Amino acid sequence: MTTSSKTARLAAWDHAYLWHPFTQMQEWEQDVPLIIEKGKGSYLIDTEGRKYLDGTSSIWVNLHGHRHPQLDRALTAQLRNIAHSTLLGLSNPPAIRLARELIRLAPKGLQRVFYSDNGSTAVEVALKMAVQYWQQQHPTAGPKHSFLHLKLAYHGDTVGAVSVGNIELFHARFKALLFPTLEVDPPYCYRCPLSLTYPSCGMACIDPLETILKTRQRELAGVILEPLVQAAAGMITAPHGYLKRVRDLCTRYHVLLIADEVATGFGRTGKMFACQHEGVTPDLMAISKGLTGGYMPLAATLTTEEIYRAFLGRYEDWKTFFHGHSYTGNPLGCAVALANLEVFRREKTLPQVRKHSRLLARLLRPLVSLTHVGDIRQCGFMVGIELVQDRQTRSPYPLELRIGHRVAQACRAAGLLLRPLGNILVLVPSLSVRPRELTKMVAILHRAIVQATEDRSASS
């Protein structure tokens, strides 16, 4: 396939100057990269004019499709006023209005909004708030400066977020930089660490979590988890009731619950926030990704009035939360985030997601019969398809075979862009995806799995 001079020039500059995230650059430099120049609805368009279905919502951020007219207008309207002014010692109308709207939509009891830049920083804010809260509000409760998290957790790439993470491939090299934490096995039903079967197991995987809370509550500032779905771990879906039980245990043992809704928030699971499926209000909630509908970097940490008031005092008390970012409460981001939330209301997005999630489940059902599909996990528009070398033993493919990558390459050739997590294929369409586009996505994925896994070299 010939490449235009424009694409060739950009590719040469990319290879000469850019360093891509989560990418082995030696391999990257050997090929002409796919360079996305435009987007429309569920499609991305490259510099050669080829169209691709966006099967990852541009890494889980796009909600209402690319180039949504209302979001475009909100961004350009704000530009006529101002692009940015600091929130340190000043305020701005979009940041104020967005905070009010977020609290209206958030789980009941969350009352305060602290802005930051991305999911990692929203988590960092929550961790620091939790530690400082216990120091200032309940100093006799114990040192309370550690955290409990799930194994396979991913909460971002800054040092604090990595400290409460547990994906060995990503995090092992940085252990010397991290603070110590406690961890328990996740509710990974397909690969149950207790070798039990749900629901007859009685959700026994929560017992070790309770044991740690009971015996080490004086050192724990909080428990952090992604509600309902451990996204980067491979779309591991928790059984119904797990989140509620964790909330109850945190309350009983006086430990804060931190919900990382960076990936699960803003309709991905069929409700605005995943916590709402089980009527849970966390003490702190980190949000980002879909906050601006995929338009601007923006994040926030929401918390209760009780936690907020622990930081109030006279200047010389030094109870201030000494944390902030240059672009905190950026007016452009906040303005487009407000428009994003208005689109939810105007287009009745959440009911459509629930309806189309049922369609997606039906479309995925035939994939269960494929020889190398071990498990299909779905929560709303968050799908993980785990490929295995042997279905009977559930033995995984060796990572060096890059079976997920092979499937993604076959999908790309057919017009669908995916980003696998090792042997787990991840499908996260935009909330605005049309039924015929969903049907096409799954059909392409089906053919690609067959093509990649029936290759003799892949299954040998």
For 255-298, the pLDDT digits (tens) are: 999 999 999 999 999 999 999 999 999 999 999 999 999 999 99
Q: Look up residue 400 and give its DSSP letter.
A: G
pLDDT of residue 459: 47
pLDDT, mean of residues 215-238 = 98
- Where in the chain do CATH 3.90.1150.10 domains reside? 34-64+349-459
| pLDDT for res 455 | 66
For the segment 350-361, the average pLDDT, to the nearest whole number, is: 98
Residues 227-252 have a mean pLDDT of 98
Q: Average pLDDT, stretch 117-130?
A: 98
CATH number of 72-346: 3.40.640.10
- For CA atoms 146, 148, 152, 153, the dihedral sign is negative
* Mean pLDDT of the region 166-179: 92
Q: Averaged over 34-47, what is the pLDDT?
A: 98
Q: Is the pLDDT of residue 314 over 80?
A: yes
pLDDT band at 458; cut points 50, 70, 90: very low
| pLDDT tops 70 at residue 203 | yes
The CATH number of 34-64+349-459, from 3.90.1330.10, 3.30.420.40, 3.40.50.2300, 3.90.1150.10, is 3.90.1150.10
pLDDT in tens, 358-369: 999 999 999 999
Ranges for all domains in the chain classified under CATH 3.40.640.10:
72-346
